[in-house]
Amino acid sequence: MKNFLKWVVCVAVFFLAWYFFGDVVLASGEYAYAGLFAAGTVLWLVNICLRPVLKLLSLPINLATLGLFGLIVNALMVELAAWVVPGMAIVGVKGFVVSVGMAILVSVMNMLVGKK
């Protein structure tokens, strides 16, 4: 059940970002909603499989920056999820700021879901 809620959070974050920042988070074509679902699912899978490995590899930098580099790793996971799905894009410098915001939102929501 917890994994399902984390998946819902990932999908909801892409929908919220697309709704509020439509000029930055681009979901094109007639299958825009399917692309947002796919991007949320890819983000969920990346957070399960790839993120722990990257957190471990970036541990020295994370310690040196007192944990702030973790936001960059999470934002890169969001960018990766959007890049993998065809028809999805997070564009520009403002797009990376939106990715950091999405990463913060995913982290906070997953933290709330993870509590019993």
pLDDT over 70 for what percent of the chain?
Answer: 98
Structure tokens at 59: 């541990």
Pick from 46-50, 61-65, 75-79 the range whose average pLDDT is largest.
Answer: 61-65
Q: Is the pLDDT of residue 116 over 70?
A: no
Q: Is the dihedral angle over the CA atoms 83, 93, 56, 16 positive or is it negative?
A: negative
Q: Is the pLDDT of residue 115 over 90?
A: no
Q: Which residues pair with 14 in a beta bridge?
A: none
Q: Is the pLDDT of residue 3 over 90?
A: no
- Grade residue 13 by pLDDT with cuts at 50, 70 and 90: confident
Alpha-carbon gap, residue 30 to 3, rounded angstroms? 29
Alpha-carbon gap, residue 78 to 31, rounded angstroms? 20
More confident residue, 30 or 41: 41
Which of 100, 94, 97, 59 lies closest to 77, judged by CA? 100
Q: Is the pLDDT of residue 62 over 90?
A: yes
Residues near 35 by beta carbon (within 8 Å), at least 6 away in sequence: 27, 28, 29, 85, 86, 87, 88
* Predicted local distance difference test score (pLDDT) of residue 69: 92
Average pLDDT across the chain, whole number: 85
